[in-house]
């Protein structure tokens, strides 16, 4: 069972300045919902209702979003707009939200280690809210939990990317397992390699399921690419023991950390409504 989902949400979102100067990037909306709400909904669809958020300075809007707003609710009560809050109210009443602050920005690995206090000694999921994933029938995290239940080790979601984009992602090499065409046992992984050094065009996207020994590994992991503590490097320690599976998920992903991806997601969700 996976009971908890960690949301690293301390990053500055510099690609969206000035919009992210006083607004957390996780609160940027695709249509009327902020990115992090899509992530929480994906976790809930996967059977998770304990959300652990690694936050930071300037991120209080996230806490306020997942809380009751008495004045607002009083103001719109009985009117036509009241139903607009139904979804978020449902999430708030079905989930718990816990927060801890990452004091310095030192990489995704460091953010995940900061979340240890909220996770403890159990396997857990991670959603990077700026990777917005969609599958009508079965959410990406729900698919990954099935893979975790089968292999009982860490799982990363992967996608084929054009070779010239390898410098933006963790990139894996692996062997297909059990006659599948979508599930690999990882043999190598490199953080943001140049295309000439990339072991494949299979990129890790912002969905992980990790076993709790990752925290001890992260404590020992030295700064890597960009001088930051990389989850990719820590996962390589598990991969050397054959303990990381890469799963090519079914569905769509939008890189909402980039303006192009954000606009693409906005248009796609808008068209879907019509």
Q: Which residues make up the interface to ligand G1P (CB under 6 A)?
A: 108, 128, 131, 169-170, 191, 203-206, 230, 232
For ligand G1P, the closer of residues 166 and 211 by Cβ is 166
Task: Please report how close the Cβ of residue 206 comes to ligand G1P at its closest, in angstroms.
Answer: 4
Task: Please report how close the Cβ of residue 230 comes to ligand G1P at its closest, in angstroms.
Answer: 6
Residue bearing tokens 């399921």: 209
Residue 48 CA to chain centroid, in angstroms?
Answer: 14
198: helix, coil or strand? coil
**Which residues are within 8 A (CB) of 85 and not within 5 positions of it... i.e. 6 or more apart?**
72, 73, 76
> Cα–Cα distance between 191 and 168 in angstroms, integer?
8
Task: Please report how close the Cβ of residue 56 comes to ligand G1P at its closest, in angstroms.
Answer: 14
Task: Please report how close the Cβ of residue 143 comes to ligand G1P at its closest, in angstroms.
Answer: 17
With CA atoms as reference, report the closest residue to 32 among 93, 89, 84. 84
> DSSP secondary-structure letter at 47?
T
For ligand G1P, the closer of residues 46 and 190 by Cβ is 190
> Cα–Cα distance between 217 and 246 in angstroms, integer?
19
For ligand G1P, the closer of residues 54 and 128 by Cβ is 128
Task: Please report how close the Cβ of residue 131 comes to ligand G1P at its closest, in angstroms.
Answer: 5
Position with the least CB separation from ligand G1P = 170
For ligand G1P, the closer of residues 139 and 170 by Cβ is 170
For ligand G1P, the closer of residues 88 and 132 by Cβ is 132
Q: How is 106-135 classified by DSSP, letter by letter?
A: --HHHHHHHTHHHH-SS-EEEE-TTEEEE-
């Amino acid at each position: 069972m996976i009971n908890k989902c960690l949301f690293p949400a301390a990053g500055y979102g510099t690609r969206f300045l000035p919009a992210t100067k006083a607004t957390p990037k996780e609160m940027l909306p695709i249509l009327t919902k902020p990115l992090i709400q899509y992530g929480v909904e994906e976790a809930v669809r996967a059977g998770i209702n304990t959300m652990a958020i690694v936050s930071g300075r300037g991120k209080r809007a996230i806490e306020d979003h997942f809380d009751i707003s008495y004045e607002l609710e009083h103001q719109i009560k009985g009117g036509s707009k009241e139903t607009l809050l139904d979804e978020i109210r449902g999430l708030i009443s079905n989930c718990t939200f816990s927060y801890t602050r990452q004091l310095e920005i030192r990489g995704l690995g460091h953010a995940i280690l900061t979340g240890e206090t909220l996770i403890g000694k159990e396997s857990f999921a991670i959603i990077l809210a700026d990777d917005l994933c969609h599958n009508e029938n079965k959410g990406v995290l729900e698919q990954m939990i099935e893979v975790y239940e089968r292999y009982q080790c860490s799982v990363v979601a992967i996608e084929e990317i054009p070779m010239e984009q390898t410098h933006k992602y963790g990139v894996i090499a692996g062997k297909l397992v059990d006659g599948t065409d979508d599930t690999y046992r990882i043999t190598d992984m490199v953080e943001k390699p140049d295309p000439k050094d990339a072991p494949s065009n299979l990129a890790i996207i912002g969905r992980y399921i990790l076993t709790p020994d990752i925290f001890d590994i992260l404590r020992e992991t030295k700064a890597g690419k960009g001088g930051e503590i990389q989850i990719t490097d820590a996962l390589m320690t598990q991969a050397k023991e054959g303990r990381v599976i890469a799963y090519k998920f079914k569905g769509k992903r939008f890189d909402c950390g980039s303006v192009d991806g954000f606009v693409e997601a906005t248009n796609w969700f808008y068209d879907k409504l019509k």
